[in-house]
Structure 1
Amino acid sequence: MPRTGRLTTATALLAAISALATACTGQGADTASDDPKADVTLTFWHGWSAPSEARAIEENIARFEKAHPNIKVKVTGNMTDDKINQALRAGGDKAPDVVSSFTTDSVGKFCNSRAFADLNPFLEKSGVDKAKVFPRTLLEYTEFNGNQCTLPLLNDAYGLVYNKTAFDAAGITEPPRTWSRFVEVAQKLTTPDASGDSYERVGLMPTFHGYETTPMRLAAQWSPTYFAADGSSNLARDPAFAKMLTAQKDLVAALGGYEKLERFRNTFGDEWSAEHPFHTGKVAMQIDGEWRAPMAKEAGVGFEIATAPLPVPDDQAGDYGKGYLSGTVMGIASGSRKQNAAWELVKYMTTDTDAVVAFANAIHNVPSTLAALESPALRVTPEFKTFLDIARHPKSSTTPARADGGTYQLTLTDFAYAVEKGDVADIPAGLARTDRQIDTDIAKAK
């Protein structure tokens, strides 16, 4: 399952993490005093809730305990970030030692507030060269200002999942590689209903409320730079953002306009059910992650499914294959008095190739280490291979960590909502205002 709802969760989470700043000072490998070879029980909290996911965690923990017979792990699943942060603020024996979070966007807050311990000393003491273990982009979203307070635990890549049967019927022989071709294909696959006021099918739901279609995932295809060298917001100065917003707004217009599309979107089923609009044939192309194709197959769709990278701007055709990356993170609570033992668990789950591959195979996510990406034990379907290739692409990117966590992304998203609705007459000027708001929010967070 994907790491869905990060931005929504981050809104409520940021204030909670801020409260930790004065309470958490953190430890390092040189100051943690516990003996990792002593008999100990760790508490590990994670957010997975589906039976198959919980089972995959338990299987990984069982393998860890077999390799570390002195360490027992008490696992609690389906833990929200709010619950985690409440426990971290309270401290004591009821707080977790190890945490896995879906809220990648808040890593900057985790690090800045010292809610999680800096793992750099642990990595160094263990002889783990993180640059040789993890893809560069994943390291970007798991550290902040040199503080590696989390490590990647599996990875999400975003691309295009499409109805190949519909493509074939329309005479479309390959997925679109450039944005201009993407618009053409989306229009060709769009079928109005009998009234002409709605649709039988849209080639793509392009609005930013359309599940996984976010400004950040589209912007990745333009290879943007979110922040300048001095740390200030760079949205207005980098033409990538204005180009992306203009292209998306034009696509919305080409497919019938914002209001018409939003009325149709309101007929969609739940994103995580068999009634997802891609499953039911209401949408021919879906911007989504590696989980969508297997979910569609489990839903019993009556058409052939294929996957591809998202298209790139026409002037960046040579970069086709790149995409947006994010994922789950894992860290050690700063208040834990069992940090050396906790590090053994974190090290195993995030760096052990067999453990990473087994977990990726079990829950259909992209592996988060370079070795696991190339492992012959990794189960690879044609649909899944697309996302592995996106994860490996040298120009795939993510959203950088900042002291205010994901607030800057929320600010950009709010502006993008206004653009697609037609409420913004001057996109560059609006981006400049957005920059000022982002800079103000980050200054307050610091």
Structure 2
Amino acid sequence: MRRGIAATALVATLALAATACGGDSGSGKADGPTTITWWDTSNATNEAPTYRALVKEFEAANKGVKVTYVNVPFDQAQNKFDTAAGAKGAPDVLRSEVGWTPAFAKKGYFLPLDGTEALKDKAQFEPNLLKQAQFDGKTYGVPLVTDTLAFVYNKAIFAKAGITKAPATWGELKSDAAAVKSKAKVDGYWASTAGYYAQPFLYGEGTDTVDLAHKKVTIAGAPAVKGLETWKGLFSGPGLHKPDTTADAYAHQQDAFVNGKVASIIQGPWEITNFYKGSAFKDKKNLGIATVPAGSAGKAGAPTGGHNLAVYAGSDKAHQAASLKFLNFMTSAKSQEQIALKNSTLPTRSDAYTPGVTADPGIAGFQKVLSASQPRPELPEYSSLWGPMDTELPKVADGRESLQDGVKALDEAMAKLVPDFTK
């Protein structure tokens, strides 16, 4: 799950309007190449150059196709595409966050990809990641990059506190945090108040915000409440950092971790390159990565994020055919290897984890925890359920609201987002 990127200038907005042309993005002449438009939502500074280079490679190998590349800020792309598709003028290809994929598929904006060139290598992709690209039994995206949350820690600080391995349970984490504070004189753990980062506490109790099979909102159920009680308990105590509910909380936590001011956090692989920029991880091998601790159900689980490449259903046949060829190229083992090597992101297919890719300890570490990642349910509204959590959990964390009142508010808010579910 990438964090939002700053808003673009007016010129970028005008560029989007000019390139959001879907099936009308013609070649200029009947016998010329087919020109498709791709909206990429990757970080414009750290990641986009890799994708631009791959576009050039694709064009060199496919003379009949040209690609108009547009980098769209992640935090704007969902609404922009929704508006453009509703007006029948969306780009031919979208880098779609996994949570957007079923939502846009439900609206009929994405082309089903089963049996097409885009999914020619379907057997190479991780099954759980393909599941996240599905809606109503059909596949609407090809997984490009993936991510999950892991317990990341400073090995040197843990060693100074006499700790030789990552905690397996949340209870062990509390004990480790106290030991770190006592012996290493820094906080042992800094928890996030954001809803996405609370998911492991629900999974650890064998539950979730909703039960799709029974169409029920489960956030107020006993297992979920137990998980949130554990979550709340990690904001106070020896070695546990107090809740940060400021607008810059994410940056504060990240800065403290990469510079050795806190020993551990829960974080995703999108921060791998930034970890290495901090003083604590000049030696990359000092970065410890482990599966998130387990809850009382004896199970550890973390949410799965990432991005798919999807094709606009409103494009004409020629542009769809060119787009399918483009998807196959961009998600090939060779392309994914190149993306991983340049951007330190996780591939979605097993054959892209080459020795060169896994030589990065960050990627190798996150690859090992992917087995604990939980695919999102095939529910278009699922990602929107984190919105109420982002509103209520900070108030619960810093004591402005009781957990009981917070859960009640979450139950009511989530029920409105999935009105056909029972409570």
Q: Same fold (TM over 0.5)?
A: yes
Alignment of 1:32-181 (within 5 A): 39-79=33-73, 80-81=76-77, 82-92=79-89, 95-101=90-96, 103-120=97-114, 122=116, 128=120, 130=122, 132-181=123-172
The structure-2 alpha-carbon separation of the partners of 1:380 and 1:51, relative to structure 1 and needing over 3 Å to count, comes to same
Q: Distance between the aligned counterparts of 1:48 and 1:217, measured in 2?
A: 25
- Structure 1 residue 255: Cα displacement: 4.7
Query: What runs of 5+ residues in structure 1 fail to find an aligned partner?
Result: 10-25, 28-36, 193-199
Counterparts of 1:241 and 1:269, CA distance in 2 = 24
Task: Tell me, yes or no, if the aligned pair for 1:214 and 1:413 is still in contact at 8 Å.
Answer: no
> Any residues of structure 2 matched to 1:344-359 within 5 Å, and which?
344-350=325-331, 352-359=332-339
1:243-294 CA-partner distances (Å, limit 9, x unpaired): 2201111222325889x5438x78868369xx71212322210211224343
Alignment-mate amino acid for residue 244 of structure 1: G
Residues in 2 aligned to 1:4 and 1:266: alpha-carbon distance in whole angstroms: 13
Distance in 2 separating the partners of 1:345 and 1:218 = 39
Alignment partner, residue 394 of structure 2: 417
Distance in 2 (alpha carbons) for counterparts of 1:271 and 1:138: 31
Q: Secondary structure at the match of 1:276?
A: helix
- Partner deviation per Cα, 1:127-153 (whole Å, 9 max, x = no partner): 7374x2322321232222224222211
Note if contact 1:162-1:284 (Cα within 8 Å) is conserved in structure 2: yes
> What is the total number of aligned residue pairs between the two structures?
391
Q: Is this contact kept in 2: 1:111–1:147, CA < 8 A?
A: no
- Which of the numbers 183, 190, 202 marks the counterpart of 1:205? 190
Q: Which amino acid aligns with 1:369?
A: R
Identity %: 22
What whole-Å deviation, never above 9, does each CA across 1:146-165 have from its counterpart, x for those lacking one? Answer: 24222211111221221222
The corresponding residue for 1:309 is 291
Is residue 2:235 matched to residue 1:252?
Answer: yes
Distance in 2 (alpha carbons) for counterparts of 1:89 and 1:266 = 33
Q: Structure 2 vs 1, CA of residues 355 and 257 (structure 1 numbering), >3 Å: closer, same or farther?
A: closer
Q: Which residue of 2 aligns with 1:262?
A: 244
Q: Distance in 2 between matches of 1:171 and 1:251?
A: 21
The answer (yes or no) to whether the contact 1:98–1:331 under 8 Å persists in 2 is yes
C-alpha root-mean-square deviation of aligned residues, in Å? Answer: 3.6
1:316-327 aligned at under 5 Å gives the runs 316=298, 323-327=302-306
Match of 2:325, SS state, is: helix
Q: Are the aligned partners of 2:94 and 2:312 in contact in 1 as well (CA < 8 Å)?
A: yes
Distance 1:166 1:256, change over 3 A: closer
- Is the CA contact (8 Å cut-off) linking 1:152 and 1:330 kept in structure 2? yes
- Cross-structure match for 1:339: 320
Partner of 1:231: 215
Distance 2:160 2:53 in 1: 44
Question: What one-letter code is carried by the residue in structure 1 that aligns with 2:37?
Answer: T
1:276 and 2:245 are equivalent in the alignment? no
Give the conservation status (yes or no) of the 8 Å contact 1:107–1:401: no
Q: Name which structure has the greater RCO, CA cutoff 8 Å, separation 6+.
A: 1
The secondary structure found in structure 2 opposite 1:400 is coil
409 and 52 in structure 1: CA distance in 2 versus 1, 3 angstrom threshold: closer
Q: Could you list the per-position Cα deviations for residues 285-312 of structure 1 after superposition, in whole angstroms to 9, with x for gaps in the alignment?
A: 0211224343222234367332222111
> Which residue does 1:3 correspond to in 2?
2
1:408 aligns with 2:385: yes
Residues 218-227 or 380-389, more deviating: 218-227
> Using a 3 Å threshold, how does the CA distance of structure 1 residues 213 and 380 change in structure 2: closer, same or farther?
farther
Aligned twin of 1:17: none
